[in-house]
Amino acid sequence: MRALLIVAHGSRRATSNDEVRALSDAVAARDDGLYDRVGCAFLELAEPTIPDGIRALMNEGVSDITVVPYFLSAGRHVVEDIPAEVAKAGPLPPEVNVRIAPYIGRSETMADLLLAQGRSTA
C-alpha cells in the first residue's frame, strides 16, 4: 500500500492546522488511485508529529510513503528538520520505504497556480 503524507509546519492557530487537514482530504478526493492513504503531519505545534504520522500509516499496512513538504522555500525546516523527523520514525522494517519529495515551492506547476489565482479575481 502507498501513502502520501503532507508535512506542514504547524501553527498555534488551530484553523491553519485544520486548513492543512482539509487540504489532505481534498488531495485524497482528487487522487486517481495512486495512493491508498493520504494524510498530514506537522513539524511542530500540531498533531500528529511526523514520526507518529509515519507510524500510523505503517500500522494501516502502508509500506511505501511519499512525504511532501508543504513549504515554500528551502529553509532549515525543509533541509534539516523534516529529514531528521522522518528519521525518528525508524528504524523501519526493510520492506517499508519512505521518500521525501521536493517541497512545493519547487513545483513546476506553482507558476500556473499563481496565474490561476490572479485570474480568479481578475
CB of 34 closer than 8 Å to CB of 95 = no
- Alpha-carbon distance of 41 to 68, in angstroms, equals 10
Could you tell me the smallest distance in angstroms from the CB atom of residue 86 to its own copies?
13
Q: Are 105 and 87 spatial neighbours (Cβ–Cβ below 8 Å)?
A: no
Of the two residues 91 and 99, which places its CB atom closer to its own copies in the complex? 99
Between 38 and 58, name the residue whose CB sits nearer to its own copies: 38
69 and 53 in contact (C-beta within 8 Å)?
no
Q: How far is the CB of 14 from its own copies (least distance, A)?
A: 11
| Smallest separation (angstroms) from its own copies to the CB of 84 | 19
Give the residues lining the site for its own copies (CB under 8 A). 2, 4, 6, 8, 11, 13, 15-16, 19-20, 23, 26-27, 29-31, 34-35, 66, 68, 70, 72-75, 99-102, 104-105, 107, 109-122
State how far the Cα of 69 lies from the Cα of 9, in Å rounded to an integer: 9
Tell me which residues are annotated as active site.
9
**Residue 40 or 58 with smaller CB distance to its own copies:** 40
CB-based burial, 17-26: b 16+ in 10 Å, e otherwise: beebeeebee
